[in-house]
A and B are shown apart, each in its own frame.
Chain A
Amino acid sequence: MTCVPDLKCSASCRYKDLMRSCSGLVLAFAVLVALGVASRAHAAQDHAYTSENIQAGAGIYAARCAGCHGPNGDTVAGVDFRRGVFKRAVTDDDLVKSITAGTAGAGMPSFNFPPAEMTKLISYLRAGFDAAGPPVRFGDKARGQALVEGKGRCLTCHRVNGRGLRTAPDLSDIGALRSPSTIQRSLLDPTAGMMPINRPVRLVLKNGQTLRGRRLNEDTFTIQLIDEEERLVSLSKTEIREIELGKSSPMPPATKTLSEDEIADVVAYLASLRGL
């Protein structure tokens, strides 16, 4: 059982069903796949962003881009390279165009990098600023979609383009919000990849009512969540007796249901989801 130990799983999010479908093979398979992924991390040359390019891109970034975009890629409003957040660019080609043309109105000059240099820089930007990180494996997008909707059972909790549940984050534009490396990490180790804001939350109100859901926002005085029934709830903390945050993700690692190649397919599909 992979649900948060101190939280009951959402009735609408059937992890038990999911786990039954692959029980018995889970542990051995997960270990094998994890080893396989680790061993490929250094050897992968045939993927979109190689370790060599990512590393080389880090140097180009530091020399040419960090002055305005900052050492962490987040000092220009609306842009956060580490998280794959760009103002307009969606595809790698868009990024190349943006960098080549510059943005005169925003004070960004145009850069004429030779193609090889540009590839390195894009690799670094796309790898989420993690120069030492594993390369990202891209498989087949169409197969990935079939896996997300079928065997992977992702839509039993997630939603994509109007299909599936909302108890886990809607993935319709996840490719625009997260770098491919971050998506891959979330699939392989959902707890390590879970964004803190998305933590499952259990609230006990002063009137005795208990609410469970996924946190959407929080500040000193209030908290907002989507509950198990997919209702948007906002509460003043003065109404709440107890707030309990789950530290582990309710999502099982993809390695429990999918092969390494299938995970690469899912990465390709999710990275292609850019919203409308």
Chain B
Amino acid sequence: MVRPTEGEAPRPIVGRTARLWVTAVLLGAVVTLSAQVPYDRILRASAEPQNWLTYNGTYDSQRYSGLKQITPSTLSRLELKWVVQNQVFGAWQSNPLVVDGMMYVTQRPNDVMAIDAKTGRLFWLYRHIPSPDAKVCCGANNRGVGMLGDILYLGTLDARLIAIDARSGKALWNVEVGDVKSGYSITLAPLIVKDKVIVGVGGGEFGIRGYVVAYDAKTGKEAWRFYTVPGPGEPGHDTWAGDSWKTGGASVWVTGSYDPALNLTYWGIGNPGPDWNPAQRMGDNLYSDSVIALDADTGTLRWHFQFTPNDGYDYDATQVPILADLDFKGTPTKAMLLANRNGFFYVLDRVTGRFLLGEPFVKVNWASGLDEKGRPIPTPQPPGSPTWPGNQGGTNWYPPAFSPRTGLFYFSAWEDYATIYRRETATYEPGKPFYGGGFTVLAPNPAAPTPSIGRKGPINTWTSEVGRGTVMAIDPSTGRSKWKFEQFDVTDGGMLVTASDVLLTGGREGYFFALDARTGALLWKINLGGQIVMAPITFQVDGKQYVSVIAGHTLMTFGLRD
């Protein structure tokens, strides 16, 4: 059977009595023969919108789908088709892949499930039990798998990379990526480029020294490694005072983007360590809080842009860099769009890393603005005074989207949210927390509940007085918001936008909703009763469009009522 490119394989009509068996056999045949995902397919993923082949749908990370059955006028016919209940507690941040009717999704801590995307029934479940030494700052998260050929790739909480046979669900190889005892971990979904699997390491709260590392997809042999904290003799090493580079953090916990024409992968880099005491690591602390452009074949650094030098606010730059070709102020531009945790929205030239635009999208008082090169003009607040945006940032890791139809950049922001930082000297011990202080969220009452990582329960006791969530649509040519959709609670909802100008997202309140991508008007909503801490995806099976979203402990798939 030939791999489908336009749609799915036609499903034969079978007699009622034999339907189950024949359907099962034929479906099995379809799945088995068409599950191959050569690099070429990921490269041209936008040509087969019925599938979701890589973390953000396509290498440019736009999370824009060409599927058009779900429209503003058909949304009212959206109904629940199936659910998968997670048996493991904790925020579920995984992003499913969909390949020719098969869905591959991870659940805590390091399970992979192969699911019939039409019915929600499982073919197999692979379980990796991370070492008890595994440490993560912010929950046993895993954001999904990568796929190449017939193999799935899983990064684990104990910093291993595992290749899994996509048909049998059995491991093919399993390599150590980082030292688990020293606090290294992997939470991101691997990025597949050509014949390589590229991952980065988490552990920015444990004094690691971060890196992006590529492996041969067949053998698991390391192909290249780029340290996000330069060592002695390397450019940028002098941005770390003394030995502070050794424990500099700069973790990599969100999947990068890729420009095939430039052969560059782009990675948002995490905070320097210790998080809240910049005096302990004087200097700019490259490449923490930066976006870096690495050659996909060699890992050579082509350029970097640092958003927050000598960060004392935990402003990881681990946002998804969206690649878009724009007419920027009259010039056709290969741009990178990134709304940063530090409260500024940036447009960069992705060929050179040159700063083109930067505008605050929420209240910012840690910097008075950006200079002509995009470097912030710091205005650190006195001890005990609030800093905007607060520690979780103006936005964070949850994926944004960009629609080439509307020209707008969509993401979730936290407004009116500030924290008061406490700076202390951190002592490094391998595998132990390396915070350098702490913070409290600005609240009307010091004992009042405040938002943190993930929703704390079904009752919003913290209220909008300590922060509100907003879906924001920014026009990249001005950096200003075109429209906002305000929510009562803060949100970690990622974005999905379609060729029907439908923007799908959700938030901590458990609403899954659709907005008009041009105006922000609410088109449809449903209460799913659990926090949505990832972006929805869309796909098509048997000619029918579906949307999957994870809310709370449940993966739900919606489709149009017949």
Contacts and interface: CB of A to CB of B under 8 A. Distances in A.
Given A75-B138, A128-B447, A221-B525, A197 B459 contact: yes
3 closest A-B pairs by CB: A71-B438, A182-B447, A196-B463
A75 B453 contact: yes
Question: Which size bracket describes the interface of B in this complex?
Answer: 35 or more
A169 to B, nearest CB: 11
Contact of B460 (A72, A194, A199, A218): A218
A216 interface: yes
A128 B443 CA distance: 15
Interface stretch (B288-296, B357-365, B429-437): B429-437
A75 B452 contact: yes
21 contacts: A62-B438, A71-B437, A72-B452, A75-B453, A77-B89, A77-B90, A82-B447, A83-B447, A179-B447, A195-B449, A196-B443, A196-B444, A196-B465, A197-B449, A197-B460, A197-B462, A199-B463, A218-B488, A219-B488, A220-B488, A220-B511
B501 interface: no
A199 to B, nearest CB: 8
A14 B132 CA distance: 57
Interface in A160-212: 178-179, 181-182, 185, 192-197, 199
B448 A195 contact: yes
B32 interface: no
A74 interface: yes
Interface in B448-493: 448-449, 452-453, 456, 458-466, 486-489
Given A83-B447, A220-B507, 6 more contacts: A66-B435, A196-B461, A197-B459, A199-B463, A218-B463, A220-B511
Nearest to B135: A67
A185 B447 contact: yes
A111 to B, nearest CB: 15
Contacts of B438: 62, 66, 71-72
Interface in A217-243: 217-221
Contacts of B458: 217
A62 B525 contact: no
A71 B531 CA distance: 23
A265 interface: no
A193 B446 CA distance: 8
Interface in A63-90: 66-67, 70-72, 74-75, 77, 80, 82-83
Nearest to B527: A221
Contacts of A199: 463
A158 to B, nearest CB: 18
A197 B449 CA distance: 9
B445 A196 contact: yes
Contacts, number: 93
A140 interface: no
A202 B459 CA distance: 20
Contacts of B137: 70, 75
A67 B447 contact: no
Contact of A194 (B132, B139, B445, B459): B445
B428 to A, nearest CB: 13
B5 to A, nearest CB: 41
A149 interface: no
Contacts of A185: 447
Contacts of A178: 447
Nearest to B139: A75
B516 interface: no
Contacts of A52: none
B545 interface: no
A55 to B, nearest CB: 13
A77 B135 CA distance: 16
Interface string A112-124: 0000000000000
B316 interface: no
B461 A197 contact: yes
A67 B488 contact: no
A174 B399 CA distance: 40
B509 interface: yes
Nearest to B441: A72
Contacts of B466: 196
Contacts of A193: 445, 447
Contact of A221 (B443, B444, B449, B511): B511
A220 B484 CA distance: 13
A75 B432 CA distance: 16
Interface string A90-121: 00000000000000000100000000000000
A192 B445 CA distance: 6
Contacts of A70: 137, 452
